[in-house]
Amino acid sequence: MFIGLPRRPRITPAAIDFAIKAAEPGFRNRSKDHPTLVRGFAAVATEFPDVDLVLVGDGPRRGELEQLSAELGLADRVRFLGVRADVPDVLRAAEVFALTSVSEAASLTLLEAMATGLPAVVTEVGGNPEILPATALVGHDD
């Protein structure tokens, strides 16, 4: 058992996203575009059958994301951990951090992921290009 999961998650390449701020719980803000993260994971899930997508946070759109995961045949591969106090531990268990926002200022979640040494792949929006090298940035429609 690792941080409440039956096995240590191996997460690649569309990986772990979290939004655990009191003012903006995960899955509330449409600009974070979590459905794109789930669809991106679906695109690689067949190639990496032992990889799971782990999402931390909660909010009114969680049911929508659970339904999308089920529709894509990924209900057992997309893990919704809810609000956690041990987000740094969850991040350290991951192999990659992904952020699929369509709009962003300076992303605190990205900075928190980077503080753990986790590689990040994020959309090229807002302040993300100032934080990460171009090799870690993707266009939103990519």
* Structure confidence by residue, pLDDT tens digits, 4-57: 334 444 443 333 433 322 223 366 678 888 898 899 889 888 888 878 888 888
Structure tokens at 68: 């999308």
Under 8 Å between Cβ of 54 and 16: yes
Q: How confident is the model at residue 69 (pLDDT cuts 50, 70, 90)?
A: very high
How far apart CA 74 and CA 87 sit, in angstroms, is 23
Q: Is the pLDDT score of 70 beyond 90?
A: yes
Say what the pLDDT of residue 10 is: 44
Reference 79, options 29, 9, 21, 2; nearest CA is 9
The pLDDT, as a whole number, for residue 13 is: 35
pTM equals 0.75
